[in-house]
Structure 1
Amino acid sequence: MPQDVDFHIPLPARQSPDYARAEAEQLAWPRSLGLITSEAAAARHLRGDYAELASRFYPHATGADLDLGVDLMSWFFLFDDLFDGPRGENPRETKQLTDAVAAALDGPLPDTAPPIARGFADIWRRTTEGMTAAWCARSARHWRSYFDGYVDEARSRFLGRPYDCAAQYLAVRRQTIGVQPTVDLAERAGRFEVPHRVFDSTVLSALLQIAVDVNLLLNDIASLEKEEARGEQNNMVMILRREHGWSKGRSVAHIQDEVRARLEQYLLLESCLPKVGDIYRLGEAERHALERYREDAVRTVIRGSYDWHRSSGRYDAEFALAAGAEGYLEELGSSAR
């Protein structure tokens, strides 16, 4: 994230004490599945430091639980990079690949499944271990929404019709930012589940939407130069400029104000959680799970995203220009074409 664009995040920074070990071992999983097949690809992947991102999203996790988070973050960005080129401008090819990956939610994959799908299948298998059927169904819904969003974005590029208003863009970007599956994994990593009867409550839904919005706005600021270099038109800064005729500076300042307002609302909503427990008559264990969700899932995905964006090399100019250049990116999705 550009150092001259500051966001005040009124939440404490946290990081797993097991980060150093996870960082040293982070390439083992993508290499074992053929998701990284060259030293150039490995070096590029390490510059993103997805182990740091996972250690901030899941500061309560260590060992195999943190490794699962690291592997999910690695997978997210390997998958996302597959759509930086022509595939991301072709709705049919995008749907072929997202369908091949999403098939893992329904059962074993065929032998012809591409590496990126096999990687997701492994993550999904490990994610669901020990979780209830209701939780797995909820998480699967979030994943399907995530995959659907990629098809919507590809359709926009294919038609040459970039989103022309912030509300339209947010509706799609809230899916593809991937925050909801990320927050879901915090429950799995922490071995707890939010009481299902309160998950869709007004307060909890509003908290989660703020977490999603803050993440995508931070990401759009961080990735602006990368997307400008690539000719991408769907970034909140660009959309605000088209929608309102604002300068780049004013658009960035507006996003800073939007993040600040959302976080003020977030803190107010947090103060309502004890009342939510009363309304839904949560028992002591259920209230503890709700508190863990606030502390170890929603808060950390907001603050963790901010801290990682400021340190990661993923959004450096040279990293951006190399996106999609390595042959391994084609290999990851080639058998789904």
Structure 2
Amino acid sequence: MPRGIHLGIPFESRISPDLERASVRHVAWPCSFGLLATEHARRRHIRANYPDLASRFQPNAVGDDLDLSVDQMTWFFVFDDLFDDLFDGPRGRPDSAQALVIAVREVLDRPPAPDAEPVVRSFADLWRRSRDGMSSAWQARASGHWRAYLAGHIEEALARQQALPLPAGRYLQMRTHTIGAQPVLDLAERVGHFEIPEQIFASERMTRMRLLAIEIVVIQNDIWSVEKEEQAGDVNNLLLILEQSRSRAEAVETACNMIRARLVRFLAAEHSLPALCEGLLPETRRAVDRYVVDGLRALIRGSYDWSELSGRYEPVQQVHQPHGCENLSS
């Protein structure tokens, strides 16, 4: 996987001061639902270092708020791996993918059955804690983002079954949902104990900034994961799509240039935000500022920093002190 790629991201590297504590306890939550059922799964999970990613996405979060963010990262990657690990099995088929998506999606409307799959029951716990204390407007918005994320996985399963690369634009559109960035941004409000006004959230400028930030994360992710996905036989990675007409080095350069161009547009849109916030109460303006700094900027920079350090895209190797579920306490 590529390392040492410098994108010139002009945002400060930040990380929660509570990372060490959160790291010690983070495997207890997935184990409590049976999400990490094998030693291989536990070792792979620990090697990826999801507490580090959560601590970068939510750099001001501590205590229960950071634990919630870590658990969200855990759930995302466990759910994603259900499709990766079972690509050659029955879950790789779109009909099976749809059945799993429906089971998870129903949790947004009602509690799951006691005997539901671990990934469903754990999502119910995550959704319950995520919406605690948030307004009905925020809950409706966050629910919609989760639904889009889940629906995108059905589309991904269809694309995998066809084994044909999507056009780059269509691929990016699909991945803006399945990358999971929108629920991460929603959680920035929850763990930050603020809410951005809906009229600002839905404004053309903020919508543009949000899409640019998410696309930057998608492209970054595809740079780091290209070798892993190529080995798995997946054809829908942006670099693999670009390589239809260029070399790997040229594809990497093109992807980096796509990121840099989006960063320029993001900063231009951010520069125009004060005009959008004219007339708002000081507290409301602070919420908008926090959404940009602790949400959008942290998303971009956090993804970059974690991808450089994580073992997520490396071959699974021996991990010292794997802390299996049987050895954990909450």
Q: Report the TM range for the smaller structure's normalisation.
A: over 0.9
Q: Once the 2 structures are TM-superposed, how far is the Cα of residue 274 of structure 1 from its aligned partner? A: 0.7
Aligned residues: 315
RMSD of aligned alpha carbons: 1.4
Q: Which amino acid aligns with 1:293?
A: Y
Displacement of 1:267: 1.1
CA distances 1:206-248 after superposition (whole Å, capped 9, x unpaired):
1110111010000001101101111110000111122xx1111
- CA contact 1:58–1:66 (8 Å) conserved in 2: yes
Which residue of structure 2 lines up, in the alignment, with residue 221 of structure 1? 223
Q: Which residue of 2 aligns with 1:205?
A: 207
Q: Which amino acid aligns with 1:108?
A: P
Q: Which residue of 1 aligns with 2:93?
A: 90
The correspondence of residues 266-281 of structure 1 with structure 2, limited to 5 A, is: 266-278=266-278, 281=279
Q: For residues 201 and 32 of structure 2, what CA distance do their matches in structure 1 show?
A: 36
After TM superposition, the structure 1 = structure 2 runs for residues 108-187 of structure 1, keeping only pairs within 5 Å, are 108-163=111-166, 165-187=167-189
1:194 maps onto 2:196 in alignment: yes
Structure 2 vs 1, CA of residues 87 and 167 (structure 1 numbering), >3 Å: closer, same or farther? farther
1: distance between equivalents of 2:242 and 2:164?
15
Partner of 1:5: 5
Structure 1 residue 313, shift from structure 2 partner: 0.2
Q: TM-score, normalised by structure 1?
A: 0.91
C-alpha displacement of 1:174: 0.9
* More divergent stretch after superposition (154-163 vs 96-105): 154-163
Is 2:105 aligned against 1:107?
Answer: no
- Unaligned stretches of 5+ residues in structure 1: 320-337
TM-score (norm: length of structure 2) = 0.93
Q: Is the contact between residue 225 and residue 317 of structure 1 (CA under 8 Å) also seen in structure 2?
A: no
Q: Tell me by how many angstroms 1:153 deviates.
A: 0.8
Secondary structure at the counterpart of residue 223 of structure 1: helix
SS of the equivalent of 2:297 reads helix
* Equivalence for 2:293: 295
Tell me if the contact between 1:139 and 1:184 (Cα under 8 Å) persists in the aligned partners. Answer: yes
Q: Report the equivalent of 1:66.
A: 66
Which of these residues, 302, 305, 318, is aligned with residue 304 of structure 1? 302
Q: Counterparts of 2:232 and 2:200 in 1: how far apart (Å)? A: 42
Distance 1:87 1:235 in 2: 22
For 1:77 and 1:257, the matched residues in 2 are separated by 27
Give the drift of 1:89.
3.2
Q: Structure 1 CA distance, aligned partners of 2:78 and 2:39?
A: 15
Distance in 1, matches of 2:95 and 2:172, equals: 23
> 1:111 Cα shift?
2.6
Q: For residues 9 and 96 of structure 1, what CA distance do their matches in structure 2 show?
A: 40
Change (3 A) 1:88 1:212: farther
Return the alpha-carbon distance in structure 2 between the equivalents of residues 8 and 151 of structure 1: 35
Structure 1 segments (4+ residues) deviating >6 Å: none
Correspondence list, 1:253-264, <5 A? 253-264=253-264
Cα distance in 2 for partners of 1:14, 1:43 equals: 26
Q: Contact (CA 8 Å) 2:163, 2:234: kept in 1 or not?
A: no
The runs of 5 or more residues in structure 2 that have no matched partner are: 318-330
**TM superposition shift of 1:77:** 0.3
Contact 1:224 1:235 (8 Å CA) reproduced = yes
How far the C-alpha of 1:38 sits from its partner, in A, is 3.2
| 2:323 matched residue in structure 1 | none
